[in-house]
Structure 1
Amino acid sequence: MRVFLETGRLTLRAFTDVDAGEVRGIIDDAEVMRYINGGRPSAPGEVERELMPRLLHRYRCFGGPGFWVAEERGSGRFLGWFVFRPESEDSSREVELGYRLGRAAWGRGLATEGSLALIHKGFSELGVERVTANTMTVNTRSRRVMEKVGLRFVRTFFEEWPEQIEGSELGDVEYALTREEWERSRTSSH
């Protein structure tokens, strides 16, 4: 198991094929998937055929994956995952930040903790220049995490999705943070 990073309460590591069952447990929880697909359970074989290849994909510019299993440090309990993947296969300048944690991890500050650690690693070690994140406008919990980790609101946008879900008529929001903004905030907080 290759550990990508550790925080006080989390270990982030690369996905392996054996994680498919845990992934299915997360994406078959209607509350977890509420703002992703309206809470619809996965179709038979969807995890193995569609999701696992994305989670296992390795990016040339990173020399590794862009999706990271989040485990509870100490117990090793599977909590969900974080996304920190390049927007382009060939450049780590701009990355997308995301998180999908099971309900057992909600309300504990773990999305914030993991996101802060990924942002720090991205800007200090991986050559990242800009971090972006998107969610549905109505997903106030996710938006709050984005704000707490220093990302700023950029825009509201509307895309065509294969299925309408509650709140999608209000669009999606994009947040972002540049390396320069991150460095300035670290300097001013010391």
Structure 2
Amino acid sequence: MPAFLETERLVLRPFTEADAEHLLALDNDPDVMRFINGGRPTTLETIRARNLPRLLHVHPCFGTRGYWAAEEKIGGVFLGWFEFRPLADDSPAVVELGYRLHKAAWGNGYATEGARALIHRGFTDLGVERVIANTMAVNAGSRRVMEKAGLSFVRSFTEDWPEAIEGSEHGDVEYELTRAEWEQRGRDK
């Protein structure tokens, strides 16, 4: 399957059913999942029944998917995934940006590189008007990626999650970037 997007060091490609084992390894690293589910393991059955259908979903307003497997351009090592998904299937106006990378990929700039490339593609080719991203308030690493990708803090909020995880008592944060702000800043800066 052809790549959706390539950067200097990354290839973002559509997921396939064959990615189940990659996802299982990613979602079973307690450090990777710390701010998602408190670090609890995920089963292969959950990956196949719940996660893969979400990752394979085609959004009609884009005519493509909203989740992308991330691989190193040289060597093809699976690094994780990026989300750039419209909040409404029938409108590309507002998309959610997200990322989940293997711990070995942290600190190498991959998350920022992929996020910036998706934002550029969204504003230039996909009709996106606003990019949002959310994380736990205590997730300093993810917040830093959002800022480096050009998003700005909008608000703090709390959700009623079915199960509290460490740090959830501090709530969540939302960041955003509009097309107008992106253009005013000189696009990729």
Name the structure 2 match of 1:76. 76
Name the structure 2 match of 1:158. 158
Provide the identity percentage: 60
Superposition TM-score, scaled by structure 1 size: 0.97
Name the structure 2 match of 1:94. 94
Unpaired segments of 5 or more residues in structure 2? none
* Cα-to-partner distance string for 1:152-172 (whole Å, 9 max, x where unaligned): 000001001111100000000
Q: Distance in 2 between matches of 1:115 and 1:44?
A: 27
Cα distance change on mapping 1:148 and 1:187 into 2, 3 Å: closer
Are positions 1:105 and 2:105 aligned together?
A: yes
Cα distance change on mapping 1:134 and 1:100 into 2, 3 Å: same
Counterpart code for 2:155: R
Unpaired segments of 5 or more residues in structure 1? none
Name the structure 2 match of 1:114. 114
Q: Distance in 2 between matches of 1:165 and 1:126?
A: 36
Q: Quote the offset at 1:188 in angstroms.
A: 11
Cα distance change on mapping 1:166 and 1:188 into 2, 3 Å: closer
Counterpart code for 1:14: P
Name the structure 1 match of 2:169. 169
Q: Distance in 2 between matches of 1:172 and 1:163?
A: 14
Q: Distance in 1 between matches of 2:153 and 2:78?
A: 30
RMSD value, Cα: 1.2
Cα distance change on mapping 1:172 and 1:66 into 2, 3 Å: same
Cα distance change on mapping 1:15 and 1:171 into 2, 3 Å: same
